Homo-oligomer: A and B are copies of this chain.
Amino acid sequence: MSNIVHKDSSQRASVLQHVSQNIRRLRHAGEMSQSTLAQKSGVSRRMLVAIEAGEKNVSLTTLDLIAQALQVAFSDLIKAPDNRDPSRINELAWTGVHPGSKAVLLASSAASREVELWEWRLEPGEVYPCEPDADGWSEQLFVFEGCLTLQVEGQQHLLNAGEFFTFASNRRYAYRNDGEVATRFVRNVVI
């Protein structure tokens, strides 16, 4: 008979409780099946089933493989599903060279998908170039003051006040105010 005392698997670490939900949520957000995630990550689908069921005690490397396949940070998999940093809310995230140009994060949540709500203001002549996001991200714009020129890889879209536009943000794009008054619009970043 062995005298080895092992950890009681019935009382799992609180971290593990979030992991399964996070993986499933993010997998659905990326519109991936268990099979495709298994293929992308290199983790067997059998293991993914067990993890999403919360049956297995995942190792760090396995979890990291999944995180990379989901294109999220490792910490996104272990944190509680509902904890976007609240300190960023109402944070002044960017100011332009022209005084008054600014970007403010209005809201942020992780419901069934990741959502960021921004309020933007561009003074006349102001330009904000964006790096491409990862695949799957898209943006929705609603201009409520002035007019906004959205440039997406060569193509230009002129949005007047009251107009709405949505596009995939995995390409190089830029916001520009070609008008003569300040442009104010709401920007919704989604995955």
Residues of A within 8 A of B (CB): 7, 12-16, 19, 42, 57-61, 63-65, 74-75, 78-79
Contact = CB atoms under 8 A, between A and B. Distances in A.
A68 B59 CA distance: 18
A57 B57 contact: no
A14 B65 CA distance: 10
Contact of A79 (B13, B16, B64, B75): B75
A61 B57 contact: yes
A12 B62 CA distance: 10
A74 B15 contact: yes
Contacts of A13: 60-61, 64-65, 74
A7 B60 CA distance: 13
A19 B60 contact: yes
Contacts of A64: 13-16
A65 B7 contact: yes
Contacts of A15: 60, 63-64, 74
